[in-house]
Structure 1
């Protein structure tokens, strides 16, 4: 079991690091929220795989609430491509 968890954590760390982009010319770091989402999703998947489904559902709801709150709190200058609230940045 510990080897499986070790492999998941290593893989997710690699994916999360790949999601973070540093733009040297603009001196900006992007992708931190995406990397955190990857970690949260992996954690929820591990919990769901270990058995306690109620904990996985509760964690999913908490993560979705946090993401909704962050979207409203962050100023548009920090959002990707300067997207306004309610607009998709892509």
Structure 2
């Protein structure tokens, strides 16, 4: 059974990611525990216009690992002009 890790405030994590250099926005962020000792995350990070994709991805995954011990994360980086973000359904 998958549950959120105890003591993790997803809104706080989202705010910390949003504050990273090169990040314009964050959406669809999910953090959960798959099994004891394996916390995972997935989410979408919208890049600032001048952002370098690899640097942003490294910052996001480092934050998740160092601050929240989430070492298995799937993060989708997308430009602000990406249709899904620009015109949400």
Q: TM-score band (shorter)?
A: 0.3 to 0.5
TM-score by length of 1: 0.32
Determine which structure has the larger helix proportion and give its number. Answer: 1
Higher relative contact order (CA 8 A, sep 6+): 2
Indicate the structure (1 or 2) with the bigger Cα radius of gyration.
1
- In proportion to residue count, which structure has more strand? 2
